[in-house]
């Protein structure tokens, strides 16, 4: 099977074209493909498939490095857009739409070789995140885990996110905090855990520990989740473009106040093309 290795701000992917009807890789195959020593190596596998809805040029699914499925991936969406443009399936100019497991996403070129993706509306209702055993929506939730009191916002951007505001994102012990919250019963589908540091009304610093992967160099849906939580708290300006500094690069997030949707922009890079054979 042919594949393309891509990345968006260091968040890397193996892209497979399944529009000929071949089946998606099994969880075992995904894990082997994603392995950085015995496979191609990536954070997620993206499978391009025929469109499910009218108006989309293609649909795609997301598989984490451990083989588990994901509902959304913002950096992956930009890479899918770039792949489809290179393939000729999407226009090199103008707008088009792609479809993730979370829904339809309009796409536009950003003028710098990257793409801006409509990531949809942040969903804070406990049933939509989802959160277990929580009836009322709160801006901040508190859990005592491993003897530590953690305070965080919770939001879905197509997949669940917990956002912890910290004074120093680089110094936060994300390798410990991530698994703590991901394994908590509050999150029945686990979650992506972000540590967000406020820098200015239009700039934050962020690191994300993704479910099924671990810490990644960038997380597009995590950037949107962090902005959504900090907008609610009045920490960042909802009417401005917010720069989100991640270890692998900077993404931009802006809000359409009329529709209450978030748009996320950034680079999409091709690394190499190759061929692989799946072996169970």
Catalytically annotated residues:
73, 219
Residue 77: C-alpha distances to residues 97, 119, 154, 188 (Å): 10, 9, 22, 25
Sign of the Cα pseudo-torsion (68, 224, 195, 156, in order): negative
Of 231, 233, 234, the residue nearest 256 (C-alpha):
231
Q: CA 208, CA 193: separation in Å to the nearest integer?
A: 6
Q: Contacts for 231-239 with beta carbons within 8 Å, 24 or more apart?
A: 231/255, 232/124, 232/139, 232/153, 233/139, 233/153, 233/165, 235/165, 235/198, 235/201, 236/198, 236/201, 236/202, 236/204, 237/201, 237/202
203 exposure class (CB count in 10 Å sphere: 0-12, 13-18, 19+): middle
């Amino acid at each position: 099977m042919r594949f393309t290795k891509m990345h968006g701000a260091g968040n890397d992917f193996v892209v497979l074209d399944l529009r000929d009807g071949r089946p998606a890789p099994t969880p075992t195959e995904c894990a082997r493909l994603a392995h950085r020593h015995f496979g191609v190596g990536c954070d997620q596998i993206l499978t391009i498939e025929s469109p499910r809805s009218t108006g989309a040029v293609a649909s795609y699914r997301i598989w984490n490095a451990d083989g588990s499925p994901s509902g959304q991936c913002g950096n992956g969406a930009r890479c899918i857009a770039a792949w489809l443009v290179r393939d000729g399936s999407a226009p090199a100019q103008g707008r088009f739409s792609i479809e993730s497991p979370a829904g339809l996403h309009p796409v536009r070129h950003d003028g710098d070789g990257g793409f801006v993706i409509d990531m949809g509306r942040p969903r804070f209702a406990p049933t939509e995140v989802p959160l277990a055993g929580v009836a009322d929506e709160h801006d901040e939730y508190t859990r005592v885990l491993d003897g530590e009191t953690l305070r965080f916002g919770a939001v879905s951007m197509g997949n669940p996110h917990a956002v912890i505001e910290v004074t120093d994102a680089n110094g936060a012990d994300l390798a410990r905090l991530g698994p703590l919250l991901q394994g908590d019963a509050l999150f029945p589908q686990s979650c992506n855990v972000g540590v967000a540091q406020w820098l200015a009304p239009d700039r934050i610093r962020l690191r994300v520990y993704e479910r099924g992967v671990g810490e990644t160099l960038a997380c597009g849906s995590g950037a949107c989740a962090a902005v959504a939580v900090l907008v609610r708290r009045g920490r960042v300006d909802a009417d401005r473009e917010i720069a989100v500094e991640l270890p692998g690069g900077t993404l931009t997030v802006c809000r359409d106040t009329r529709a209450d949707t978030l748009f996320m922009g950034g680079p999409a890079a091709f690394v190499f093309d190759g061929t692989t054979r799946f072996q169970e």
